[in-house]
Every structure is written in C-alpha cells, then in structure tokens.
C-alpha cells in the first residue's frame, strides 16, 4: 500500500521545533550512565544526533545507514546500506532517530544492536514499544513532515481561494 494512503493528517515540524524537541530528548538522555557515543540512523536521526551530541558533549558519533521507505512506497523489509565502524552489541551506545512509525526500521536496528538505548524525537503507537526514550507521541495516521522535506512558500489568502467572488 502506498504510504500516502496510510496518512490522513499532516504534522509539520519546523527547524526550531525539531531543535527544541531534540534538546528535550538530550535532557532525558543526560541521566543515562556510561555513554560511549551516539549512533545516528540515517537520514532522519542525523539532526537530532547532532543536537544531542552538542548538549551531552559527546564527540563519538557513528551512522547506521538503513533504508525502509520513502514518501511513495513502503519496502517489505528494511535494508542495511552501511554498518558501524566497529562491532558492538550496542551496550553504552544511544541509537538516535527522528521518529519511530510502524517500528519496522526500529526492530531491524534492534536486532543489530540489542543492548543499545534507542531514542527518538517522535513516536507513533505501533512503534513506541520498540524505543526506550521519546519526546512526543503522534497518532499513527499522521505524516510527520520534517523540515528537510518541506519549504516555505506563498499561500493564497482564504478569500482568494473561495469559489464565490468577493463583493467589494
């Protein structure tokens, strides 16, 4: 099923909101003991991971490059494009992603790093049980429109969109 059929609502996120929410996630993660580093799940986890790394003064960051969907189509299963620089079960590492939706990508990554602490900024009900820490829950039928997927543009005033001409 195309992803566009699954989503009935849109939740647009600005850069400022994503920064605020990522910083709030860093506050929650600051209580974790013995953090070795961060693993950003590309591409969505890169911005939150950068904010978290700054806030927690973490310099060791790796990426796990996973592909599971795009706006048009969900894949049958997640695929690994690039693994980690070093082998680990994840102990002491924080996995960071922007969101967990159905949990398919999250479960795939959990199999690779079962001991990692999984943190996302946004979580939907189907995927929420797979992550350890998140900031905001969003309904399952909502597409989270991240700032890197949107641009600001002019929108016609409501009066101009009406089918009945305005009397002047």
The SS3 call for residue 104 is: helix
Q: What is residue 155's predicted lDDT score, i.e. its pLDDT?
A: 81
34 in catalytic set: no
pLDDT band at 71 (very low <50, low <70, confident <90, very high): very low
Judge whether residue 165 has pLDDT over 70.
Answer: no
Q: Which of 54-68, 94-108, 152-166 has the lowest mean pLDDT?
A: 152-166
Residue 150 burial (CB count, 10 A): 13
Note whether 143 and 156 are within 8 A (CB): no
Choosing from 21, 34, 76, 101, the catalytic residue is: 101
Structure-token pair, residue 141:
């039928």
pLDDT per residue as tens digits for the range 15-26: 999 999 999 999
97 is catalytic: yes
**CATH class assigned to 3-161:** alpha beta
- Indicate the pLDDT class of residue 2, thresholds 50, 70 and 90: low
Is residue 30 helix, strand or coil? coil
Q: Is 98 a catalytic residue?
A: yes
- Give me the residue spans of the domains in the chain: 3-161
């Amino acid at each position: 099923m195309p992803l566009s059929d699954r989503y009935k609502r849109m939740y647009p996120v600005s850069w400022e909101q994503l920064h605020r929410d990522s910083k709030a996630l860093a506050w929650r993660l600051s209580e974790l003991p013995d953090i070795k580093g961060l693993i950003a799940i590309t591409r969505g986890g890169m911005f939150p991971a950068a904010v978290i790394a700054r806030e927690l003064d973490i310099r060791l960051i790796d990426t796990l490059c996973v592909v599971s969907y795009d706006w048009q189509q969900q894949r049958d299963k997640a695929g690994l494009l690039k693994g980690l620089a070093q082998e680990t079960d994840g102990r002491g590492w924080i996995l960071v992603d922007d969101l967990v939706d159905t949990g398919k990508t999250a479960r795939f990554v959990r199999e690779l790093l079962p001991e990692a602490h999984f943190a996302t900024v946004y979580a939907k009900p189907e995927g929420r049980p797979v992550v350890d820490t998140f900031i905001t829950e969003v309904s399952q039928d909502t597409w989270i429109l991240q700032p890197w997927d949107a641009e600001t543009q002019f929108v016609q005033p409501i009066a101009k969109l009406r089918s009945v001409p305005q009397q002047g």
